Each structure stands twice: as C-alpha cells, then as structure tokens.
A and B are shown apart, each in its own frame.
Chain A
C-alpha cells in the first residue's frame, strides 16, 4: 500500500476517532484473493478522503462460520471478545466488504451487547456517491457485459439488492441479470460454513451450477460483493476453463479500476 492504514489504536493515541471502522474480516485479512478486495476498498476510501480505521491485530473472526456450523459457544466467545474491543473504542459505524461479517455484526451482535450502525461496502459507497463525495466515471467498462451475483447474506438475508446494482450502473457497462437473481438468487455454495469443508455428494458442486448460469450470458466480468462468492465463482470459472476470458471481480475492485487506482 502506498499510504498507511491506521488502526483504532492509532486514532485513540491521537485522541481522535475515525469516521468509520473498516471491518476487514478473516478472508479480507488472510486470503490472497480477498486481500486485493480489501486493498481496493482502502484505496477508494483514501482517495476520497474518508477517515477510516481498522482493528488490525485486535480484530477476531466474527464467529459466523462457527455459528452456522452449529457451534454457538465458539460464536459467542468471538462475539463477546469483539464487542468488548468495539465498545472500548466506542465504535459507532462499521463498514465491511464481507456480507457474512456484515450480517453477523448487524443482526446477531445487538442482543449480545454490540449495537453499531453496520453497513456493507456497497452501501457505504452508495452513501458516499449520494453525498457527492464519490464520483464514478465508467470509461474503461463502457459496453462491457457484466453480471452480478447476489451474495445470500447481503441480498436475501438482509434485503439489499439495489446498492451493488446502483454502483455497477455507474460503470456504464451492460448489466445483465441472471434468471436466478435478487430474491431468487442462487447461493455460490460457500455459506453456512460450507466454505471450509468438502461438499456432500451430488450431481455437481453448487459453485459449478452457479458459474454455469453466469457464463451462459457470456459476460466479460462476473461481479461479486463477497470474498467467499468471489472464491467460489473464480473456481467455477476455472472449472470451465474460462479464466482467460471471464474475470470475477468484487464491485469495489471494478470501481478502483475505473478510477485508475
């Protein structure tokens, strides 16, 4: 990165607090592919001058995969640890590029004592755009075919279908919808802790089914809004040997590209 990422601890040491806390998440911190999404998002925030911080070493897994695997103990242990840290810094607003973190922080932390305004990065960028702080010119994407895969935990789980689409429209690309989109969206196959295990026996893997549908429109880009969907669909595209023709990119990466960041 060609600028410094500040942590909550840094801000606290300066006696200040940032506009927003960026919750990076485990995938965004450790997974090589997802790290690119993390960086792209930081670049955009940096460019428009949003003061943001991360927790860095003080961040733990939100507990989502443990919870959805059925392990309420591990989930709540993680949640309580995180809530202690967040409350100590008096965090008000959290943005995250992972719908699983987003969902858990937003919906499952409140009853454990963690009350924050939690938003997904696409929602945050939409907000910034409406405020006139973020301007997108979609030059290089003009006329390119893009299809968007709704992440279950952003769309169906939290009713957010419009924010990602609004951003994509700004790219001036040709947006095509898959038959299974929005409330009818098909899972990428990673949710509910499936990411961490082999799928059960069946006719095919879920990510293959989903990628097949996306590829049937012959898009240039499959846009995602979740690091897990991104991995699943990237694998799917490889499965069909299309990885030289079709890119799988997070919306924030596309925006960063449009801005030449």
Chain B
C-alpha cells in the first residue's frame, strides 16, 4: 500500500498527458485538411521572429497595460512548467523537493524565492485582467462576438490560474511551518508566503498532521490542476500559449502589401498570351495539376497556416479594434473571421471523428459561417495583421474567400463587376478610352 500515492500519481500523469497528446494530434490532423503551403524558406529569420514575437512578446508593448499584465501571467506559465519537473519527480519517486538536492542550498533558496515572486505577479495579473475584462468595459473585450463560451472561457482560465497560484502558496506556507517545526527537512526560501499566508496559518496553531494534509492537498490540487489546465486548452482560446510558437514561425514574412499571385492563373494566361502555344495541347506529363478551385469556399480550400492561425487566435480583438470596417459599424470583424474558421474546422473534425472520413454536411465556411457582406467590407488595409500580437493573418482568409466569390461564382457586387469589366476592356477601372490616357498632358 505504501506506493499507492505514487501509482495514482503515475496513472493520472499518463492519462493527463495521453489525453493532451490525443487533442494535439486531432488539431494536427485538422490543420492538415488544408492546402499545403511552403513556408520553410528563410529559416533563421523565422527562428528570430518566433523568439522575438512569441517568446519576447515584442508586439504586446503596443498596449502597455495589457502588455505588462500579460507578461506577468506568461512568466507564470513558464514557472508552472519548471515546477512541473519537480512535481513529476517527487510524485513518481516519493521524494520531497527533489530539485533541492540537485541545485544545492543557496541556489534552491534563490529558485523557490523567485517562483514565489513570480507567482505573486501572476495573481496580480489575473486579478487585474479579471476586473478589466468584466467590469472595466474595454470595448474589444465586451463585443457581441464574445458572448457565451468565448467570454466564459477567458474567465475560467483566469480563475484556474488564480486557484493554481493560491494552491502554490498554500503548499509553500504549510511546508514552511512544517520545516520550522523540524517535521520536514528545510529546503527553499518562501518570502511571499512568510509575509502573507504563514502568519495567517499560525494564528490557528494547527497541528502537524493537519498541516501535512494541507500541504499534500495543495500539492495534489496543484498537480491535478495543471493536468486539467493542459487538457482544457484544447477547448479554449488559450491554445495560443502553445500555437503562438508555430504560428509566428510560419508567419508571412513578406511586406504586408505583397499578396500572392496564383500560379495556376499565371500558367493559363501565359498560354493565352503566347501566340505559339497550342490551346488544345494536353498538359505536359508530370505537370502539377491545377487546384480544383480558385480561392476558398470551405476550410479545405484554406492553407494549413491559415488553419493553424484559426486555432492560435487568442480572441484578444486587437485586430478588430483597429479594423476600419469594424470601427465604423460594419459586420466585418477580423477576429470573428478566425473564430468562425475555427468553429467550422472543429465541426469538420467532429464529422470525421464520427464518420471516419468527412461526409458532406451541406455546410460551407462561406455563407454558413462567414457572410459575403463581411467579406466585401474589407479594405485590405492590413491594420488587422499589423495589430495581431502573434502575427496571425485574418486578411488572407478574407482575400481567398473573395477570390472564390469572384472567380468561381462571379458573385461580386454589381459595381465591382463593372469595374472589372472596365479594367479588362479599357485597361482602367473607369470607362475611359485607353487612347485618352495622355490627355491630361494637353490641358
């Protein structure tokens, strides 16, 4: 029986990580439903971008208050990870504060003291975030598209993080008192606990047994909490704590103004313009097949980076708050474009889980999730991409869907059809004769 703890611990650990691995695989599978896109160029620039933007949070400083608070919570996340190593080793081998034996006295004191300070900052961060999100009325955090799950999701995470940090302090405090009483070996230094929870606990003069139970209880709570948090990520916008890394690595490194040129179209036009080409010639052997359609109608037509973006979006709404269409009251919200893309992708994923492969469900990303009205309101100004703290690109999705509307369905607004006809026939978006192009010079 004496190993019961360790066995339970191991089972939970394996189950927790196993489930999490399964979720990640599902996300990976769903992302791969998209078209392939080659983003393996400029590797050193990509590593540098990821380090700067995802690890260094370089874009968060654009909004200093949120930036600092986020930094606190982010650092807290890193603590959880370092601490998890100790928890796992202690849990499996039944040791207590295993890192102390490796780090040595002085350094372990320094280490635990630092964790305490960081944990306090996390608490400050989440409390202020909670107030800001729920009572302070930041517009981008209270918009209609967040009603329901997205809003609750954000709050849940703050509550979980608060509870985890409180468990951390409770654990340290009871441990400290037990260490003082000589029940446990003296390891670590706990400045914050000593100032706050320890004096509070001392008032009640709890006995050793009780404190041991509290210490273990907090330890288990902390451990299970982390496992829970990890598995919760899959359902949450908080996936960004993982996916921000690949998203920034695979980010578009070109200038914002440079939109991709469809190669399949280039081939066709070259053929059209080449007087020697045989229009009836069969495509050359081994020639790449043209994609079955132009632009995007559903998640399958988007590329894998766009789908990765949809999972990475943290729903912060920085994009939407600077979108000229959105600030003037149009239906378009770049954040909602990514949220809807993710919703549709998850629906497709569930469909595959159920049927083994995707069975047509009569729905599409276009119209069922994203309306034409939203798509046509975009000025392609790139304010959204510039604002996104993790370099997501909602505009590229809007643009691909416009391509589908125009090239596959000829469903552009009437005035745009006129403009396009003019460009085609008069080489100008207005109905002027190309021969008159130099008339201004004669006035």
Contact = CB atoms under 8 A, between A and B. Distances in A.
14 contacts: A57-B437, A59-B427, A60-B427, A61-B427, A103-B258, A107-B258, A156-B256, A156-B257, A186-B322, A186-B327, A191-B379, A192-B380, A196-B419, A198-B413
Interface in B262-310: 262, 265-266, 268-270, 272-273, 294-295
A220 interface: no
A202 B402 contact: no
Nearest to B263: A111
B325 A202 contact: yes
The residue among B269, B420, B441 with the most chain A CB atoms within 10 A of its own CB is B441
A27 B284 CA distance: 42
Interface in B410-443: 412-413, 415-416, 418-420, 423-424, 427-430, 432, 434-443
Interface stretch (B110-118, B141-149, B381-389): B381-389
Interface stretch (A72-80, A87-95, A131-139, A161-169): A72-80
Nearest to B418: A196
Contacts of B262: 72, 76
A189 B441 CA distance: 29
A157 B419 contact: no
A73 B265 contact: yes
Contacts of B415: 196-198
A74 B379 contact: no
Contact of A60 (B272, B373, B382, B434): B434
Interface string A1-15: 100110100000000
Contact of B424 (A4, A77, A191, A198): A77
A16 interface: no
Contacts of A186: 322, 324, 327, 383
3 A-B pairs with least C-beta separation: A157-B257, A203-B329, A192-B380
Nearest to A206: B324
Nearest to A82: B427
Contacts of A78: 423, 427
Contacts of B266: 76, 112
Interface residues of A, number: 77
A57 B432 CA distance: 12
A59 B420 contact: no
B261 A108 contact: yes
Interface of B: 254-259, 261-262, 265-266, 268-270, 272-273, 294-295, 322, 324-325, 327-332, 373, 376-383, 386, 399, 402-407, 412-413, 415-416, 418-420, 423-424, 427-430, 432, 434-443
A95 B380 CA distance: 23
Interface string A106-145: 1110011000000000000000000000000000000000
A192 B379 contact: yes
Contacts of A38: 440
Nearest to B437: A29
Given A1-B441, A199-B377, 6 more contacts: A68-B399, A69-B406, A76-B269, A158-B255, A186-B327, A202-B329
A243 interface: no
A193 interface: yes
Given A70-B406, A107-B257, A152-B379, A39 B440 contact: yes
Contacts of B423: 61, 63, 65-66, 74, 78
B244 to A, nearest CB: 20
A70 B403 CA distance: 4
A180 B261 CA distance: 31
Contact of B381 (A1, A111, A152): A152
Nearest to B408: A70
A156 B381 contact: yes
B437 A189 contact: no
A205 B377 CA distance: 11
A224 to B, nearest CB: 15
Contacts of B377: 199-200, 202
Contacts of A26: 428-430
Nearest to A183: B386
A60 B427 CA distance: 5
B434 A57 contact: yes
Nearest to B382: A156
B203 to A, nearest CB: 53
A206 B332 CA distance: 13
Contacts of B272: 77
A201 B438 CA distance: 37
Contacts of B412: 69-71
B104 to A, nearest CB: 48
A193 B428 CA distance: 13
B429 A204 contact: no
A70 B427 contact: no
A201 B330 contact: yes
A196 B434 contact: no
A253 B329 CA distance: 34
B129 to A, nearest CB: 23
A57 B440 CA distance: 12
Contacts of A107: 254-255, 257-259
A209 B325 CA distance: 10
A111 B324 CA distance: 30
A69 B416 contact: yes
Contacts of B443: 1, 35
Contact of A108 (B256, B259, B439): B259
Given A30-B432, A187-B383, A56 B437 contact: yes
A65 B429 contact: yes
Contacts of A192: 378-381
A205 B386 contact: no
Contacts of B378: 192
A156 B379 contact: no
The residue among B257, B324, B415, B427 with the most chain A CB atoms within 10 A of its own CB is B257
Nearest to A195: B429
B441 A72 contact: no
